[in-house]
Structure 1
């Protein structure tokens, strides 16, 4: 579907949704960071998460306001697609070190995700024109849903309700990406098509992950003694995070 441009914006809805989103989540980085006071690891990982959000949304927003020809468009197209990998890895960055206990759960998984993300970035930047769309989609979704194992481990430990925002966020990302690939639906011809639907899905997905971390970052700072050692938090305080079941193993 061909999108009708307006002065200054080649793809108005796609550009404006993500530019506005970049501004909103840049502001929301501060309350998220404040929830982490008392835990340096929380502060660093939340900053990485927020940075990758703003990076993706700003690159995407600028890319979609540019004309569809020229060097700037080609460069921003690569940065836009590369930033997707950065956001996926950035979303793992607070999750693994703060909510898991084992060396693999905390750092092994995070190293794996960032390594795959960096490989994806290199592939997208160098072979942008040569990578089939279905392969690009598979790489994004495969890397994102690599977190399913982490989600299952958290659900076993704390219950399904605990991970609900992560699950809804993953579904929003996935449905948006599939809609864009399928070129459906066209909600308003010439204005809102599948790609715009994907952009909204991205914002919903980011919002779900942001809410999860905002809700539980403060709890991580005050995790009880059983888990404080791996969160870098003080001992002996209470938390709103559901207590792990006694039969669960560390992941």
Structure 2
């Protein structure tokens, strides 16, 4: 089934995608400050949550500007590469606080090294071969990398239970559903205004909000609960 072209506005080639993510960048910059204030007094938490905050604002900013630009322009090609890179950074940036807050020793550092190495490789390859990468392949790689992080989420779930990590799970599912709709190029909700790509942008914002709330709960100053919950894994076995 052919897709319905999105109607442009002056200065906005893809209006909904651009405006939603530009506004989102401002909102998450403010939420990021609030999140970091909650982590005051613990340098490690501030650093790892700072990585998360940067990744959200970077992704939304690059995406918002990219979707402003006219198809076929040199600027759009450059921002397209940055948009791809920002997706990789967001995946690792979301995973970084999880590893820092809930794991210690090799389980923390080795996983982070593998994740960020995969991101660096992905950014390099997708930037070089940007014009040749099929959209479905990009979506598949992002899903695979995201659910690699999900393996660690299963360990956290085992230790904390569903109630305490429901927002983490819901955010991952929301990202995945949005990515699948993007890969399927379906549905069109409002012809010419909101299609599958716009639904993907809504899913990104929703998932980010869920993950922000999850991290906010465990970022509160003076509480070491999050960092010690999983340190007894070895002694439990």
Do both proteins adopt the same fold according to a TM-score greater than 0.5, normalized to the shorter chain? Answer: yes
Q: Distance in 2 between matches of 1:3 and 1:249?
A: 54
The 1:73–1:153 alpha-carbon spacing in structure 2 relative to 1, beyond 3 Å, is same
Aligned pairs (5 A) from 1:11-30: 11-30=14-33
Deviation at 1:245, TM superposition (A): 11
Q: Distance in 2 between matches of 1:225 and 1:126?
A: 40
The 1:91–1:225 alpha-carbon spacing in structure 2 relative to 1, beyond 3 Å, is closer
Say if 1:97 and 1:105, in contact at 8 Å, map to a contact too.
no
Q: Distance in 2 between matches of 1:91 and 1:8?
A: 31
Match of 1:53 in 2: 56
Match of 1:8 in 2: 11
Q: Distance in 2 between matches of 1:119 and 1:89?
A: 12
Q: Distance in 2 between matches of 1:143 and 1:250?
A: 30
What is the DSSP-based 3-state SS (H/G/I as helix, E as strand, rest coil) of the residue aligned with 2:219? helix
Match of 1:159 in 2: 161
Match of 1:114 in 2: 116
What is the DSSP-based 3-state SS (H/G/I as helix, E as strand, rest coil) of the residue aligned with 1:129? helix
The 1:250–1:184 alpha-carbon spacing in structure 2 relative to 1, beyond 3 Å, is farther
In the superposition, the TM-score normalised over structure 2's length comes to 0.93
Deviation at 1:244, TM superposition (A): 6.5
Q: Distance in 1 between matches of 2:22 and 2:226?
A: 42
Match of 1:182 in 2: 184
The 1:250–1:76 alpha-carbon spacing in structure 2 relative to 1, beyond 3 Å, is farther
Taking only aligned residues, the RMSD between alpha carbons, in angstroms, comes to: 2.0
Aligned pairs (5 A) from 1:75-90: 75-90=78-93
Instruction: Tell me how many residue pairs correspond in the alignment.
Output: 233
Q: Distance in 2 between matches of 1:75 and 1:49?
A: 24
Match of 1:92 in 2: 95
Kindly provide the CA deviation profile for residues 166-197 of structure 1, in whole angstroms up to 9, marking residues without a partner as x. 11111111111111111111100000000000
What is the DSSP-based 3-state SS (H/G/I as helix, E as strand, rest coil) of the residue aligned with 2:130? coil
Q: Which has the higher contact order (CA 8 A, sep 6+)?
A: 2
Unmatched tracts of structure 2, length 5 or more = none
Unmatched tracts of structure 1, length 5 or more = 228-242
Aligned pairs (5 A) from 1:197-216: 197-216=199-218
In the superposition, the TM-score normalised over structure 1's length comes to 0.88
Match of 1:222 in 2: 223
Range with bigger deviation, 160-169 or 112-121: 160-169
Say if 1:157 and 1:245, in contact at 8 Å, map to a contact too.
no
